[in-house]
Structure formats: structure tokens, C-alpha cells
């Protein structure tokens, strides 16, 4: 499997391409498709390594998904990628794939305000909600390259509709190659027995949550940090355990609209488990503009400073 050194900056979309190439070498029935953005999704790495198993579908996202379904019927293991925002064009095909009980794997890159200068037309801010709503789906959102590779591998063995959200920018590798990432799991990156608040993020917001926890720690405020890389199914046990330690206080932060994403997944899980919670839900609530990643994360209220402020407000 591809391996990365701790601290190296690697985009999860690059790790997706690396993982595909590795899968292609070990599993000849793995195929890849893309919607004419393979140089951005990094599916082009698979295309160069195995040109006879790569299918360029051009700007035809409905056909991208339809062809993936057809290949799955022929007992191939298809991975179809494009910008996450463009899967909205193919949602009926994704929905019908689930009804048909097809096995397809979708990868959406360039999600959220994190992409920066490309502007709101390219920023998928509804994809997690869209994919969570698909019957029986699996929705994954890795924060670093190591977890991205592990989750691509897990998707190859997963039946049904699975979706991987990848990040445009390169961020430090958090996990060693010996870490395991099961579907339905999460990772606790900061924890103490006396934690008073839990910060939950996924993808880029994990790094903002870690920075916020460091700021709080300087004032003697211990905060638990959870990387919720599996958005569906969600790790209920870890969330319930965190609630028990931190008095049900959660800051949920996501680079997504507030409806139907990570925050909804966590709240649904905790309420379903009968846990009483006090929640600050930070999400992209206004139409974003164009700018640097730092400017847009701050403008949306999902950066470290806003997470820290939300935690302090919960603590009174």
C-alpha cells in the first residue's frame, strides 16, 4: 500500500490516485472512470498505469455513473471520480443504482470552501447530505493521505453505493501506516480523562479542531478531538463515550451546509442513543465567495478561532 511520512503534506485526492494504482496492481478487476477532471482527482495516475481499464466519460456525469453501474454488473469493481459538486448532475442515476442494488464507488474532490479561489460554483457544500440520503450508502471523509488510502481499500470490498469526499489542498499526514480505518469508525486525536468539551470534525476541519484544542489547552481547557472520517455509518460508541466525559458538550464543525452533513449525523446518532447534548454546530451558512483557504474558512466561521470561541461559549 502507498505509505506517507508523518507530517508530510499530501492531499487526500492525491492519495486517492495512489490507492487506485496500488489496487489496480493487486486486483485486475478494478476499473476507474472519470469526468474529464482526472488530472485534478488524480484518477489519471490509474489511467497511465492501466489505460485498458480506464474510461474517460468526459463532461457527462450521468453517463459516468451509468457506465460504472454497467461495469459492476459485469463483475468489475468500478471507481468513478469527478468534482464533488458535479455529482449533483447524476443524483438520479446514483439513486437508481442503489435501488438496483449496484456496487459502485464514487470519489468527489474539490469539496467545500477549502478549495479557495475557484468560487462557490465549484464548492460542493451539499454532497454529504446528498450521499447520506441514498439508501444503504456509505459516506467517508478522510482527513489525511494515510486514512484516504485505507478507506479506498475498504471501499473496494464494500457492496452498495460508497462515496469518498477528498480535499483539494495538501495537509500534514496524521497517521502512521499501521493505523486501521474501519468503515463505521473514527479516531480520537486528543483525549484526557478530564476533557470538558468534544470537538468533532472531518477532512479539513480536523486540522482546525486540533489547532483550536491547542489554543484551549494553553488556558488549561482540555478538549477532546474526534476525526469522524466515517460520516455514514457513524461511530456511535465513540461519540457516546465522549459525551459521558465532556458533559454532552460538542462543537461540530464541517465544511458543508448545516443540513444533512456531519453535524446532522452526529446529532442523529446521539439523540438516537438517548444522550442529552449541548451542541454548537459550525457550518457554511452563507453563500461563500472567492479567496484564500484561510480567508474562506474564517469567513464561514469554521476555522480554529471560531471553534475555540464556540467551545468557550458552551463552557459558559
Just list the catalytic residues: 61
Give the residue from 310, 19, 26 showing the smallest Cα distance to 154.
19
Q: Is 309 exposed, middle or buried (0-12, 13-18, 19+ CB in 10 A)?
A: middle
| Letter string b/e over residues 124-162, b meaning 16 or more CB atoms within 10 A of that residue's CB | bbbbbbbbbebeebbbbbbbbbbbbbbbbbbbbebebbb
Name the one residue in this structure whose C-alpha cell is 467551545: 311
Secondary structure (DSSP) of the chain = -----TT-EEEHHHHHHHHHHHHHHH-TTEEEEESS-HHHHSTHHHHHH-GGGEEE--S-HHHHHHHHHHHHHTT-EEEEEEEGGGGGGGHHHHHHHHHTT--EEEEEESBSGGG-TT-GGG-BSSHHHHHHTSTT-EEE--SSHHHHHHHHHHHHT--SEEEEE--SSEEE--S-TT----TT--EEEE--TT--EEEEE-THHHHHHHHHHHHHHHTT--EEEEE--EEES--HHHHHHHHHHHTTEEEEE-SS-SSSSHHHHHHHHHHHTT---EEEEE---S---S--HHHHHHHTT-SHHHHHHHHHHHT-
Amino acid at each position: 500500500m502507498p505509505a506517507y511520512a508523518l507530517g508530510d503534506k499530501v492531499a487526500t485526492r492525491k492519495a486517492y490516485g495512489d490507492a487506485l494504482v496500488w489496487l489496480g496492481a493487486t486486483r485486475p478487476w478494478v476499473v476507474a472512470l472519470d469526468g474529464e477532471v482526472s488530472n485534478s482527482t488524480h484518477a489519471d495516475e490509474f489511467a497511465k498505469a492501466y489505460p485498458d481499464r480506464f474510461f474517460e466519460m468526459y463532461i457527462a456525469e450521468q453517463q459516468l455513473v451509468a457506465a460504472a453501474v454497467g461495469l459492476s454488473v459485469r463483475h468489475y469493481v468500478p471507481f468513478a471520480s469527478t468534482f464533488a459538486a458535479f455529482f449533483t448532475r447524476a443524483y438520479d442515476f446514483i439513486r437508481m443504482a442503489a435501488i438496483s442494488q449496484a456496487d459502485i464507488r464514487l470519489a468527489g474532490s474539490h469539496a467545500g470552501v477549502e478549495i479557495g479561489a475557484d468560487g462557490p460554483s465549484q464548492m460542493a457544500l451539499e454532497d454529504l447530505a446528498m450521499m447520506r440520503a441514498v439508501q444503504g450508502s456509505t459516506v467517508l471523509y478522510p482527513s489525511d493521505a494515510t486514512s484516504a488510502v485505507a478507506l479506498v481499500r475498504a471501499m473496494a470490498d464494500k457492496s452498495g453505493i460508497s462515496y469518498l469526499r477528498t480535499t483539494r489542498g495538501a495537509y500534514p499526514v496524521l497517521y502512521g501506516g499501521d493505523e486501521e480505518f474501519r468503515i463505521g469508525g473514527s479516531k480520537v486525536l486528543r483525549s484526557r480523562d478530564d476533557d470538558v468539551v468534544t470537538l468533532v470534525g472531518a477532512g479539513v476541519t480536523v486540522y482546525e479542531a486540533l489547532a483550536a484544542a491547542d489554543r484551549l489547552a494553553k488556558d488549561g481547557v482540555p478538549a477532546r478531538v474526534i476525526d469522524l472520517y466515517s460520516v455514514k455509518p457513524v461511530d456511535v460508541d465513540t461519540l457516546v463515550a465522549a459525551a459521558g466525559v465532556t458533559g454532552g458538550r460538542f462543537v461540530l464543525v464541517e465544511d458543508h451546509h448545516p443540513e444533512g452533513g456531519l453535524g446532522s449525523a452526529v446529532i442523529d446518532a446521539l439523540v438516537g442513543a438517548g444522550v442529552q447534548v449541548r451542541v454548537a454546530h459550525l457550518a457554511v451558512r452563507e453563500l461563500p465567495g472567492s479567496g484564500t483557504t484561510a480567508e474562506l474558512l474564517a469567513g464561514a466561521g469554521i476555522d480554529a478561532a471560531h471553534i475555540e470561541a464556540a467551545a468557550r461559549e458552551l463552557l459558559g
